[in-house]
């Protein structure tokens, strides 16, 4: 067996938290499949922010992201009887979200309107902003907005597939294997797409980035 | 920008900022309300007909396909079964069946012996009622067979009897049509009473004949007419080409013009 095929057939190693989460999800999914429709609300509440975040970062439009997130949950609800549990519910839901986003972006390739959510400058984000601006500067908020726009513009310049990989890896924190499973491609493809996308982003954002 | 920038960061740090973009809290209240409405709408909304069709097709495609293939094979088998096989089916009355099965020489006297009493009425019965093959069932009041039929039956070979009987059983046609022409009729040459080809009589055979390759004279006549038409068309085309070529080239002063 070659090294490549070993890598491709390697089973996904999920973190203990993710495994625990997947177990809890499968119990809820079984309840929904048994007819307890209200249990689906738990799944919505658990994943709505992450699904919304994924779609928002891919579309850079909060109205579209809200609509698509709702559609994703409706699709998941309508097809949950077909969910066989081969992948985790999270992966399955993300796959629906990614496919819906890709379809939406392809349909509206020529129509791009940006509408951003507010940048909540707290935690790590506040730290980054502090390093880029004077901590007590009056123009900090203006700079944050400018930086947000630059970031989104740079992301939108990427192709849909590269943007998806960057979003899933850098922003949502998924592993290469999980991304490969969601996007139906090999881990090597995910890595190469990520590398290429980062190169493009660095050239776009070179004013802010340490060489 | 350089005046306010104290320190540069990595790309990963910048992308961390994207995580901080979050909708306000009230957004989720509205989100849930809209999701409920969409869920209800999805339940009430009628699905497009092709979705149900595709699901039904997936479920029944295999058995329907198998049944269709089986039906096709059966129809093919039934339609194109050899003619001789059908001729040999025992559709005739007992007397005729015995005649057709027996050697000609040995049966001719036997047929002649029983002709007035049994054979001919039996033939007549099978003509009117092809399924009435049981001799135990009394025949309904049957009119006497025509004299021409009686005379022909005495001289006909067993094969002729069998063919006539088969055609009667399948087509229900007048048996006298198969009789050879009487000398008087042959002389007058009456077209209506001319002996017909028994094989071309049934409608089914006529339908089948359409799909068979033609080997008769009509095919050669058609070929000749087609050749004439072809020749006429080619002549016409060559004339047109000549006419067009003449008109394309023209002299205009010291120039020769060619139209395309």
Give me the interface pTM, i.e. the ipTM: 0.74
Average pLDDT value over all residues in chain B: 65
Residue B251, beta-bridge partner list: B256
Chain A residues with beta carbon closer than 8 angstroms to that of B28? 48
d(CA B198, CA B193): 14
In this prediction the pTM is: 0.51
Residues 1-40 on A with a CB inside 8 Å of B are: none
In this structure, of B17-26, B170-179, B214-223, the range with the lowest mean pLDDT score is B170-179
Q: If contacts are CB pairs under 8 Å, which of residues 1-60 in chain B contact chain A?
A: 1, 4-24, 27-28, 31-32, 34-35, 38-39, 42
Please answer whether residues B94 and B133 qualify as being in contact, where contact means their C-beta atoms are separated by less than 8 angstroms: yes
Residue A47: pLDDT above 80?
Answer: yes
- Please tell me the predicted confidence (pLDDT) of residue B212: 59
Q: Is residue A179 part of a domain?
A: yes
Q: How large a percentage of chain A has pLDDT more than 90?
A: 34
**What is the rounded CA–CA span in Å between residue B260 and residue B257?**
10
Please state the separation of Cα B128 from the chain's center in Å: 29
Taking a C-beta distance cutoff of 8 angstroms, is the pair A80, A37 a contact?
A: no
At B154, is the pLDDT very low, low, confident or very high (cuts 50, 70, 90)? confident
| Stretch 123-182 of chain A: residues touching chain B, C-beta under 8 Å | 123-125, 128-129, 131-134, 137, 139, 143, 147-148, 151, 155, 166, 170-171
- B74-106 burial code (b ≥16 CB/10 A, e <16): eeeeeeeeeeeeebeeebbbebbbbbbeeeeee
* Chain B, window 124-183: residues with a beta carbon less than 8 angstroms from a chain A beta carbon: none
What does the pLDDT average to over A205-209? Answer: 80
- For the ranges A11-15, A122-126, B4-8, B170-174, the lowest mean pLDDT is seen at A11-15
Helix (H) / strand (E) element for B252: namely strand B249-252
Mean pLDDT of A181-204: 92
Residue A211 located in a structural domain: no
What CATH number is attached to the domain comprising A72? 1.10.1740.10
Judged against a pLDDT cut of 90, whether residue A24 lies above it is answered with no
Q: Are B31 and A62 in contact (CB under 8 A)?
A: no
Question: A159 phi and psi, to 5 degrees?
Answer: -70, 165
Domain span holding position A105: 3-205
pLDDT for A99 equals: 93
Share of residues in chain B with pLDDT > 70 (%): 41
Domain count, chain A: 1
| Per-residue pLDDT reduced to its tens digit, B205-237 | 666 666 655 555 555 666 778 888 888 888 888
Residue among A48, A171, A211 minimizing CB distance to B15? A171
Give the mean model confidence (pLDDT) for residues B116-145. Answer: 45
Average pLDDT, chain A: 82
> Under DSSP, is residue A174 helix (H, G, I), strand (E, B) or coil?
coil
Q: For residue B22, what are the CA distances in angstroms to A64, A144, A181, B156? A: 15, 14, 27, 104
Instruction: Tell me the chain B residues in contact with residue A202 when contact means C-beta distances shorter than 8 Å.
Output: 11
What is the arithmetic mean of pLDDT over A109-133?
68
Mean pLDDT in residue range A23-32:
88
Closest CA relative to residue A68, chosen from A42, A39, A45, A98: A98
Q: Is the pLDDT of residue A1 over 90?
A: no
Considering the domain boundaries, does residue A96 fall inside one?
A: yes
End-to-end CA distance of chain B, in Å? Answer: 69
Please determine, for residue B31, whether its predicted confidence score (pLDDT) is greater than 80: yes
CA angle B145, B148, B151 (to 5 degrees): 95
Q: From the CA of A74, how many Å to the nearest CA of chain B? A: 6
What pLDDT, on the 0 to 100 scale, is given for residue B10?
A: 81
- Rounded to whole angstroms, the Cα distance separating A168 from A174 reads 6
With 90 as the cut, is the pLDDT of residue B87 above it? no
Cross-strand pairs, A159? none
Position A199 in a domain: yes
Residue A123 has pLDDT above 90, yes or no: no
* CA separation for the pair A172, A53 (Å, rounded): 8
**Confidence at B171, pLDDT banded by 50, 70, 90:** low
Look at residue A109 in the predicted model and tell me its pLDDT.
72
The Cα of B22 is separated from the nearest Cα of chain A by a number of Å equal to: 6
CB-neighbour burial class of residue A134 (10 A; exposed 0-12, middle 13-18, buried 19+):
middle
A66, pLDDT greater than 80: yes
pLDDT of B216 reads: 52
In a domain, A20, yes or no: yes
Residue A210 lies in a domain: no
| Residues B65, B140 contacting (CB under 8 angstroms) | no
A193 in any annotated domain: yes
């Amino acid at each position: 067996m070659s090294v490549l095929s070993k890598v491709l057939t390697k089973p996904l190693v999920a973190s203990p938290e993710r495994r625990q989460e997947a177990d809890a999800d499968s119990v809820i999914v079984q309840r929904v499949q048994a007819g307890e429709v209200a249990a689906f609300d738990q799944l919505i509440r658990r994943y709505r922010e992450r699904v919304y975040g994924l779609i928002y970062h891919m579309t850079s439009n909060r109205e579209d992201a809200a609509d698509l997130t709702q559609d994703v949950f409706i699709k998941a609800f309508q097809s949950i009887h077909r969910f066989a549990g081969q992948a985790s519910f999270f992966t399955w839901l993300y796959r629906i979200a990614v496919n819906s986003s890709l379809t939406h972006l392809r349909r509206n390739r020529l129509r791009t309107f940006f509408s951003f959510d507010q940048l909540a400058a707290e935690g790590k984000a506040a730290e980054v902003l502090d390093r880029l601006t004077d901590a007590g500067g009056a123009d900090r908020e203006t700079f944050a907005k400018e930086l947000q726009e630059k970031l989104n513009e740079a992301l939108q310049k990427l192709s849909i597939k590269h943007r998806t990989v960057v979003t899933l890896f850098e922003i949502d924190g998924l592993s290469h294997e999980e991304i490969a499973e969601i996007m139906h491609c090999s881990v090597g493809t995910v890595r190469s797409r990520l590398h290429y996308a980062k190169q493009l982003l660095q050239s776009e954002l070179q004013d802010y980035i340490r060489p | 920008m350089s005046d306010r920038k104290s320190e540069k960061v990595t790309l990963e740090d910048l992308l961390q900022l994207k995580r901080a973009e979050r909708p306000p809290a009230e957004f989720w209240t509205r989100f849930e309300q809209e999701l409920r409405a969409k869920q209800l709408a999805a339940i009430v909304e009628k699905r497009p007909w092709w979705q149900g069709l595709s699901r039904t097709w997936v479920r029944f495609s295999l058995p329907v396909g198998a049944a269709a293939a089986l039906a096709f094979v059966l129809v093919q088998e039934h339609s194109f079964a050899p003619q001789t096989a059908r001729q040999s089916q025992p559709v005739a009355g007992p007397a005729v069946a015995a005649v057709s099965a027996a050697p000609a020489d040995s049966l001719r006297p036997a047929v002649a012996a029983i002709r007035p009493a049994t054979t001919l009425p039996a033939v007549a019965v099978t003509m009117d009622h092809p399924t009435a093959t049981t001799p135990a069932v009394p025949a309904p009041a049957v009119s006497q067979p025509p004299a021409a039929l009686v005379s022909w039956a005495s001289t006909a070979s067993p094969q002729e009897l069998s063919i006539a009987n088969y055609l009667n059983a399948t087509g229900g046609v007048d048996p006298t049509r198969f009789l050879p022409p009487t000398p008087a009729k042959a002389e007058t040459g009456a077209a209506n009473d001319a002996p017909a080809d028994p094989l071309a009589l049934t409608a089914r055979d006529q339908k089948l004949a359409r799909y068979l390759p033609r080997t008769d004279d009509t095919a050669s006549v058609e070929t000749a007419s087609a050749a004439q038409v072809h020749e006429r068309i080619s002549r016409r085309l060559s004339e047109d080409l000549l006419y067009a070529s003449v008109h394309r080239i023209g002299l205009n002063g010291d120039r020769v013009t060619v139209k395309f």
